[in-house]
Chains A and B, each alone.
Chain A
Amino acid sequence: MTDLVVPAPPPPAAVERADFEIVPLKGLPIVAAAFVALIVAIAANKLWPLEFLHVVAGAGWTVIDLFLGLVIGPILGSLSIPARVELTKRLMPKMVLIMPTLVTITLAAGWQLGHLLGTVDSSYVHHGWIVASYIVVGVMAVIALGLLEPANVAVLFELKKPRPNPAVIEHLMKRFIYTAGVTGLMQIATLVIMTKVASG
């Protein structure tokens, strides 16, 4: 009979302070340009620019939510804490800029587009579907604004501390992953509604 050498469990992984920008300043001019394009499109009130901004930003919002919630989220959940930190400090600052920009452009351009096409009028033939889209977006907005975005920003502040607390990072990342998963699933409803409305 041989003696088995069982290695002692490793100590909790220490998290090193990460050097990164919570809000990537280089991205701000891009956000500003996107918002200027939105203002111009709404002022012009022409079909193509409004449709372009609504479809591009809406598709970006939907795809990112689905990808984060259903692909990246489960992967992130299975990684070690140092690996999560590495991914988080590269991914999350970009999300701080990208998601609010996409959501704002989708909603503002979409509202103007709906006004132009008459699809937001209560007399529109698919009005029930449009109201359903309001409800889906509303639920997603409450989850994203109340849980997801605060967790996103808070985990970045935790990582900037001289001694980040792995438990806090774990807690906030779980919250981020679960809420991203829920909004990702709700985006499927958005796809169903929008393709139905576009198909007439």
Chain B
Amino acid sequence: MSERRLPPVTQIGMTSLALIVAGGIYLSAHLPQHVPLAPAVILLVLSAALLVGNLVALLRVEGFARAPFFLVARWALLAYAITAGLIEYAFLRNGLSGGPLVVLTLSLVVYAVHVPMLIGFTVARYA
């Protein structure tokens, strides 16, 4: 099995997902009381930064199989956007609003982008 030198996309992706999960748990554990948003915002910003860094690092790799990556990631993005939308709908339906809603919505965006990226990467690295 030949292995190209690739950035640690999976490890960074899992760290990013862990950060938004931690932020989501932090917020959910305090609802419906007022909760300081700063810890969740910091976790979200770090997670989003890892997502952007991961994508940039991956696309800078010479010889990386971009065509299968985008093919798979595109369809996975559609699927994960639907699941994120359903979870968002549950948040909206039970009256979540304000800062916690914004943070959780942006966390779902990171989830809906990073997971398809990880799936596309895992397929493309063996292409």
B5 proximal to A (CB < 8 A): no
Contact check: which of B17, B68, B90, B93 meets A145 at CB < 8 Å? B17
In the assembled complex, the Cα of A93 lies from the Cα of B17 at a distance in Å of 24
In the assembled complex, the Cα of A154 lies from the Cα of B82 at a distance in Å of 21
Whether the Cβ atoms of A39 and B83 lie closer than 8 Å is no
Whether the Cβ atoms of A154 and B122 lie closer than 8 Å is yes
Q: Which residues of B are found within 8 Å of A154, using beta-carbon distances?
A: 119, 122-123, 126
Whether the Cβ atoms of A146 and B79 lie closer than 8 Å is no
Within 8 A of A (CB), among B70-105: 72, 75-76, 79-80, 82-83, 86-87, 89-91, 93-95
Interface size on A, residues (CB 8 A): 44
Interface size on B, residues (CB 8 A): 41
Nearest chain A CB to B87 CB, angstrom units: 5
Nearest chain B CB to A142 CB, angstrom units: 5
A107 proximal to B (CB < 8 A): yes
In the assembled complex, the Cα of A23 lies from the Cα of B121 at a distance in Å of 18
Whether the Cβ atoms of B123 and A134 lie closer than 8 Å is no
Whether the Cβ atoms of B10 and A150 lie closer than 8 Å is yes
A171 proximal to B (CB < 8 A): yes
Proximity string of chain B (107-127) to chain A, C-beta cutoff 8 Å, 1 when within and 0 when not: 000010001001101110011
Whether the Cβ atoms of A150 and B122 lie closer than 8 Å is yes
Q: Which residues of A are found within 8 Å of B94, using beta-carbon distances?
A: 45, 111-112, 115-116
Nearest chain A CB to B30 CB, angstrom units: 6
Q: Which residues of B are found within 8 Å of A171, using beta-carbon distances?
A: 1
Q: Which residues of B are found within 8 Å of A88, using beta-carbon distances?
A: none
Whether the Cβ atoms of A42 and B90 lie closer than 8 Å is yes
Whether the Cβ atoms of B79 and A100 lie closer than 8 Å is yes
A157 touching B123 in the complex, CB below 8 Å, given contacts A39-B86, A149-B115: yes
Within 8 A of A (CB), among B20-43: 21-22, 24-25, 28-33
A104 touching B126 in the complex, CB below 8 Å, given contacts A120-B28, A146-B118, A150-B10: no
Whether the Cβ atoms of A151 and B118 lie closer than 8 Å is no
Which of A's residues lie within 8 Å of B, judged by CB?
23, 35, 38-39, 42-43, 45, 100, 103-104, 107-109, 111-112, 115-116, 120-122, 127, 131, 134-135, 138-139, 141-143, 145-147, 149-151, 153-154, 157-158, 165, 167-168, 171-172
